[in-house]
Amino acid sequence: MSSPVITRFAPSPTGYLHIGGARTALFNWAYARRHGGKMLLRIEDTDRERSTAPAVDAILDGLTWLGLDWEGEAVSQYGRVERHRKVVEELLERDAAYRCYCSPQELEAMRAKAEAEKRPVRYDGTWRNRDPDEAPSGIKPVIRFKSPDVGETIVDDQVQGRVVFANKDLDDLIILRSDGNPTYNLSVVVDDHDMGITHIIRGVDHLTNAARQIQIYNAAAWDVPEMAHIPLIHGPDGAKLSKRHGALGVEAYRAMGYLPEALRNYLARLGWSHGDDEIFTTDELVEWFGLEFVGRSPARFDFAKLENLNGHYIRHTADEKLLDQFLNFLPFLEGGPAILAAIDETMKAKLLRAMPGLKERAKTLVELLKGAQFLFAVRPLAMDEKARQIIADGGASVLERLIPVLISAGSWNAAPLEAAVKSHADAAGVKLGKLAQPLRAALTGTTVSPGIFDVLEVLGKEESLARLKDQVS
Partner RNA sequence: GCGCCCUUCGUCUAUCGGUUAGGACGACAGCCUUUCACGUUGUAAAGACGGGUUCGACUCCCGUAGGGCGCGCCA
- Considering only 165, 253, 374, 412, the residue that binds RNA (CB under 7 A) is 165
Run of H or E residues at 175: strand 174-176
Judged by CB under 7 A, which of 109, 164, 349, 382 binds RNA? 164
Q: How far is CA 157 from the centre of its chain?
A: 25
Candidate list 177, 348, 370, 467; residue touching RNA; CB under 7 A: 177
Query: Amino acid letter at 138?
Result: G
For residue 461, report the phi and psi dihedrals to the nearest 5 degrees.
-95, 70
270 near RNA, judged by CB under 7 A = yes
Q: What is the DSSP string of 383-414?
A: PPHHHHHHIIIIIHHHHHHHHHHHHHT-S--H
Contact residue for RNA among 56, 81, 232, 343 (CB under 7 A): 232
Counting contacts by CB under 7 A, is residue 207 touching RNA? Answer: yes
Minimum CB separation of residue 209 from RNA in Å reads: 5
Query: Could you say whether residue 432 binds RNA (CB under 7 A)?
Result: yes
Nearer residue to RNA within complex by CB, 162 or 379: 162
Q: One symbol per residue from 30 to 69: x for binding RNA (CB under 7 A), - otherwise; what is it?
A: --------------xxxx--x-------------------
Considering only residues 127 to 156 of the shown chain, the ones binding RNA according to CB under 7 A are: 142
104 binds RNA (CB under 7 A): yes
The residues that are catalytic are 243
H or E element at residue 324: helix 319-329
- Rounded CA-CA distance 6/191 in Å is 13
CA-to-CA dists, residue 329 to 192, 278, 344, 443, 470, angstroms: 36, 25, 16, 25, 39
Is residue 167 at the binding interface for RNA, with CB under 7 A as the rule?
no
Q: Which of 243, 401, 431, 469 binds RNA (CB under 7 A)?
A: 431
Does position 463 interact with RNA (CB under 7 A)? The reply is no
Binding mask 350-389 for RNA (x = CB under 7 A): ----------xx----------------------------
Determine, following the binding rule CB under 7 A, whether residue 244 of this chain makes contact with RNA.
no
For the chain, what percentages of helix, strand and coil (3-state, to nearest 5) are there? 55, 10, 35
| 235 close to 241: Cβ distance less than 8 angstroms | yes
Query: How many residues at the interface with RNA, by CB under 7 A?
Result: 85
The residue among 153 and 325 lying less far from RNA, judged by its C-beta, is 153
Q: At what angle do helices 450-458 and 462-472 cross, to 10 degrees?
A: 160
| Contacting RNA within 314-333 (CB under 7 A) | 315
**Shortest spacing between CB 129 and RNA, in angstroms:** 19
Closest CA to 262 of 201, 323, 324, 325: 325
| Helices 414-428, 345-359: crossing angle, 10 deg rounding | 70
For residue 465, state whether it binds RNA (rule: CB under 7 A): no
CA dist., res. 468 & res. 455, Å (int)? 12
Contact positions with RNA (CB under 7 A) in 382-421:
418
